[in-house]
């Protein structure tokens, strides 16, 4: 959600920045570099803007995020953890 400082040389090499804003995904331009097209993309952009504004507000006020994520990350499957997908275990836990 946040990036480092802008690299002006990289920015000048991106031709999509120099073109007029487009609103269709058919151009091949990344979603973050064009206008949203359709209701789902407009919703994605609004949600992204909400989280960016929320992060900025919490950072400026010096508060710590205490409401997100909504789930407990420790109860989720973690990277490098093995999953037991055997049928016997699924049947015994369902009873």
- 40-53 pLDDT, tens digit per residue, is 989 999 999 999 99
In this prediction, residues 52-62 reach a mean pLDDT of 93
pLDDT of residue 59: 93
Residue 29 domain flag: yes
Which residue did the predictor score with more confidence, 94 or 57?
57
Domain total of the chain: 1
Residue 30 domain flag: yes
pTM of the model: 0.54
What does pLDDT average to over the chain?
A: 80
DSSP state letters, 13-34: H-HHHHSPP---GGG---GGGS
Residue 3 domain flag: no
Q: What angle do CA 6, 12, 15 make, to 5 degrees?
A: 120
For tokens 């097209």, the residue is 37
Give residue 78's domain range. 8-94
Residue 80, pLDDT > 90, answer: no
Residue 1 domain flag: no
DSSP state letters, 32-77: GGS---HHHHHHHHHHHHHHHHHHHHHHHHTPPP-S-SSS-GGGSP
Residue 65, pLDDT > 70, answer: yes
Residue 75 domain flag: yes
């Amino acid at each position: 959600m946040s990036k480092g400082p802008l690299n002006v040389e990289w920015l000048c090499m991106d031709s999509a920045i120099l073109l007029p804003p487009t609103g269709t995904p058919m151009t091949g331009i990344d979603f973050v570099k064009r206008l949203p097209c359709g209701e789902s993309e407009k919703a994605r952009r609004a949600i992204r803007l909400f989280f960016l504004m929320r992060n900025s507000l919490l950072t400026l006020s010096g508060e710590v995020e205490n409401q997100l994520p909504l789930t407990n990350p420790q109860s989720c499957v973690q990277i490098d953890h093995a999953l037991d997908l055997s049928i016997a275990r699924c049947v015994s836990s369902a009873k």
